[in-house]
Amino acid sequence: MTMDRHDILSPKLGDYVLGDVTPEEIREIEGHVRDCAECAAELGELSLVMEGLARVPEPVTPPPALKRRVLESIASLPKAGQTVDTARRGWNPGWLAAAAAMILALGGALYL
Amino acid sequence: MDAAASVVSRLAAGDMDAASELYDRHAGHVLALARRILRDYGDAEDVVQDVFSQAWRTAARFESSRGTVGGWLLVMARTRSIDRLRAKQARPDTRTDVMPDRMPSADVAAPDQLLSDEQAVRVREALANLPDAQRKALELAYYEGLTQVEIAERLTEPLGTIKTRVRTALGTLRQRLRP
């Protein structure tokens, strides 16, 4: 008797969430999980475990200068999806961003 | 939309106040994880900058139904930290990143619930209570990003033994999500 896809792929879900899989395995696992409720549930739980492991180190208080550095670095980045023009202008009032988001949302709704 | 998801949608719209709020809420966890992985304060701070920059660029792709905002940032923090660690150690990257910024929007791997604070505590306790050999294998995989082949080589144990340890450890931690 040959093993079916589930028997082969379900033991690899842990490898998948840890990132220890080949591109081929990723395709196989993601394809299988779409059709297999049992594996989808297990993968959901494993994702929660990964987040739990990420939260094991006790949070620390970052040095105050780090926040300034992070925000300055963000402010220098163009936004994804923003036109070069808007990014170059160097100012971006909140209402303009909100209006742009609204237009995008409306556009998305119409498109759908 | 809950408050956390609304911060991300404001971030996607280019709101710097949202970036500041997100930083205040999550930077302590992101920095702690980066320090745990890199064991270097300067490198860990670089990772914090990378993570929030990546969040800024990819906020539009975040889906709140797919995980918590904190989880999304921490996945990026782990990936970035391990990339840096491997570069420093001149260790060729044989892993295939499943998780980076696409994990929260992938239509698989979607938890149907979000990790609660109690669950996070239970996972932490369960990790501490694992048999030493299992905990060591899982820590090398998660916090150092070693493949199981690399873990087997480092510990001079058979690959099958390592795979069993990691799988058993993950199974125990999964069980502990439930009270």
pLDDT digits (tens, 9 = 90+) for A15-48: 999 999 999 999 999 999 999 999 999 998 999 9
Lowest mean pLDDT among A3-7, B145-149, B153-157: A3-7
- pLDDT at position B167 over 80: yes
Decide which of 1.10.1740.10, 3.40.1160.10, 3.30.70.20, 3.40.50.10490 is the CATH code for B3-90.
1.10.1740.10
Alpha carbon of A10: minimum distance to chain B alpha carbons (Å): 11
Average pLDDT, whole number, for chain A? Answer: 78
Per-residue confidence band for B2, with pLDDT thresholds at 50, 70 and 90: low
Q: Which fold has domain B111-176?
A: Arc Repressor Mutant, subunit A (1.10.10)
Distances (CA, A) of B149 to B153, B157, B171: 6, 10, 20
Domain ranges across chain B: 3-90, 111-176
Across the interface, whether the CB atoms of A20 and B29 are under 8 A apart is answered no
Across the interface, whether the CB atoms of B70 and A100 are under 8 A apart is answered no
pLDDT digit string, tens, across residues B40-62 = 999 999 999 999 999 999 998 88
Set of chain A residues whose Cβ sits within 8 Å of the Cβ of B22: none
- pLDDT at position B161 over 50: yes
> Bigger pLDDT: A102 or A84?
A102
Q: How many CB pairs under 8 A join A and B?
A: 191
Set of chain A residues whose Cβ sits within 8 Å of the Cβ of B114: 48
DSSP B128-178: HHS-HHHHHHHHHHHHS---HHHHHHHHT--HHHHHHHHHHHHHHHHHTT-
- Going by C-alpha positions, the residue among B58, B76, B70 that lies closest to residue B9 is B58
